[in-house]
Amino acid sequence: MLKFLKKYWWIGLIGSMFMVGEVLIDLIQPKMMAKIVDEGILKGDSALVWSVGIRMILIVMLGGSCGILSGVFVNICAQHYGNDLRKACFGRIMNFSFEQTDDFTVGSLITRTTSDVTQVQNMLAQLIRGAVRCMMFFIAGSSFLISLNVAFSRVLMFALPVILIEIAFVVWKSGPLFTLLQKRLDRVNSIIGENIAGERVVKAFVQEERENEKFETGNRELVDTQFKVLILLSWMRPIMNIVLNIATVAIIYIGGMEVAAKRMEIGRLMAAITYLSQILNGMMMLAMIFQTITRGVASSKRLKEVLSSVPAIKDGAEREIPLRGGSIEFKNVSFTYPGHHHEVLKNINFSLGAGQTLAIIGATGSGKSTLVSLIPRFYDVNAGSVLVDGIDVRRFPLDELRDRIAFVLQKSEMFSSTIKQNILIGKPDADDEEVKRAARAAQADGFITAQPEGYDTPVAEAGMSLSGGQKQRIAISRALIKPAEILVLDDSTSALDLGTEARLFKALGEEYSKLTRIIIAQRIATVMRADRIAVLERGRIVGLGSHDELMASCPVYREIYDSQLRKGSERK
Ligand SMILES: Nc1ncnc2c1ncn2[C@@H]1O[C@H](COP(=O)(O)OP(=O)(O)O)[C@@H](O)[C@H]1O
Ligand SMILES: [Mg+2]
């Protein structure tokens, strides 16, 4: 993850240089103060008081400016870094295969790209600013303090180990807690996300109470963990203060004796007290920095998991890509979902020439959606091969393969923009005429133009303002506008009435006849017209042929036919 710093490290360096300036000035001040007291006030030299005093004011102003500039530069550096990190994460997530997204869970991916990135960003800012500050306060402060009087080193020898042990303890304890904290945050984000997305289901089944409880539990766990962290951290300051106070008393005691013995002036004693508090405050800051670092490290591990996940579905290496045709072939294909045991597809064989239509029919769960999802490589086969235009889909560069396929998913997803924008996803540079042509074929033009704003009607988030059939037709328009050779309709006309569906298929046959079509459907009426029909039962093709052939040879097909078309007649 350091590579994201390459572009910005010099900005951070400038920031830390200003920090050095600020700290140096902070460290010079007690010395000047000592001079005012010892040589000015005690000796009655008011001219010296004035000249040193004015210099001190100027220098303090300079120190303040350095502090501000250091903050500006360091934040610029950290923000840019965080921004790049977030982009990289998001880019990686976009390349995830479905199973990878499922593995991480959506909630966790959101937490990682938001909260975790922020933690790492804070860690960077703290490291640049705080580390420089602490180190300097510690090293320079200690040597200045000792240079005032060697006797003071005894105080440091006792105070510092106590504080270091304390910091080490807190870091050791809080590290795992911070990881847990992010995990709890994942969970709460998941619950919120699911419930907002599934709001209608929750309301329809009156599950508000239960979901509330689920949220409460998740939230309580989050708060509990936060409490644990806070309690742990709240020990830190009081102990530090006790150490600081005891050390101050010791300094005054030792210094007082030195002053009484006339071995040291009172102003230097004052300076010593200031140095001591600077050193110990520096240590305190170190503790805070360690906290941020512990937290940042926990988060950066989580980000690394995302960034180092290799997309499970990789580009193929083939560079001699065949011309676009549209033929599809399944050769002895078997498939099991990753992480499952049940074989969903068994020894599937068929081939489909360019421009042909295959309909797939079968009970829910028979593997229809799974079968077509292998063509654009949403998943990879376990055995056998899927060929498009004569070569194995795994050899295509992914974009090249997917560009050839227009896919209408079983669930028509809508994005929250206008209807036109939703269709344009299929071909972003299409003109209005093309949009209209696709929508007309998909039988969507009618209801779209009937909307007051026509094609510019906003689709409310998740398409809630549209009916199921309307969404399906927009999704089909989106696929038809895409300059592809293969069209897959996965149960995409299920919400259309038979008349509309028939008009749609007629339009497809007339205007889009060059497309190789795979049409999944539940209704015999939909599949009857296809060149070939595959009957799927529990992952096997149990019949393949035209309607007439299947009626003659495939009992499963005949059964479906009977149950649908002879319903209500005397034959059962
Ligand atoms: N993402 C998935 N992970 C694991 N199993 C799945 C997944 N999707 C579907 N299945 C299983 O695969 C089988 C076939 O599902 P599917 O292809 O969706 O059937 P169909 O589209 O014919 O209704 C079912 O048993 C289903 O439970
Ligand atoms: Mg399905």
Question: What b/e string do you get for 218-251 counting C-beta neighbours within 10 Å, with b at 16 or more?
Answer: bbebbeebeeebeeebeebeeebeebbeebbebb
**Is the pLDDT at 462 greater than 60, yes or no?**
no
Q: Two tokens at 259? A: 């002053």
542 phi and psi angles, rounded to 5 deg:
-105, 0
> What is residue 461's predicted lDDT score, i.e. its pLDDT?
57
> What is residue 572's predicted lDDT score, i.e. its pLDDT?
41
| Cα–ligand 2 centroid distance for 291 (angstroms) | 50
Instruction: Grade residue 571 by pLDDT with cuts at 50, 70 and 90.
Output: very low
Residue ranges and CATH numbers for the domains of the chain are 2-307 (1.20.1560.10), 321-404+485-509+516-572 (3.40.50.300), 414-483 (3.40.50.300)
Q: Which residues line ligand 1 (CB under 6 A)?
A: 337, 340, 344, 362, 364-370
What digits encode the pLDDT tens for the residues 164-174? 888 888 888 88
What digits encode the pLDDT tens for the residues 232-251? 888 888 888 888 889 999 99
Q: Whose CA is nearest to atom 14 of ligand 1?
A: 367
Q: Whose CA is nearest to atom 27 of ligand 1?
A: 365
The minimum-distance atom of ligand 1 relative to the CA of 370 is 17
| Cα–ligand 1 centroid distance for 365 (angstroms) | 6
331 beta partners: 385
Look at 76-85, 382-391, 524-533 and tell me which has the smallest mean pLDDT. Answer: 524-533
> What is residue 464's predicted lDDT score, i.e. its pLDDT?
62
Look at 321-325, 499-503, 540-544 and tell me which has the smallest mean pLDDT. Answer: 321-325
| Cα–ligand 1 centroid distance for 371 (angstroms) | 10
Q: Two tokens at 205? A: 């089944």
The minimum-distance atom of ligand 1 relative to the CA of 368 is 22
| Cα–ligand 2 centroid distance for 375 (angstroms) | 15
- Rounded to two decimals, what is the model's pTM? 0.74
d(CA 535, CA 560) in angstroms, rounded, equals: 10
For the CA of 362, the nearest ligand: 1
Instruction: Grade residue 512 by pLDDT with cuts at 50, 70 and 90.
Output: very high
Q: Two tokens at 309? A: 């996940």
3-state secondary structure 355-378: CCEEEEEECCCCCHHHHHHCCCCC
The minimum-distance atom of ligand 1 relative to the CA of 536 is 22
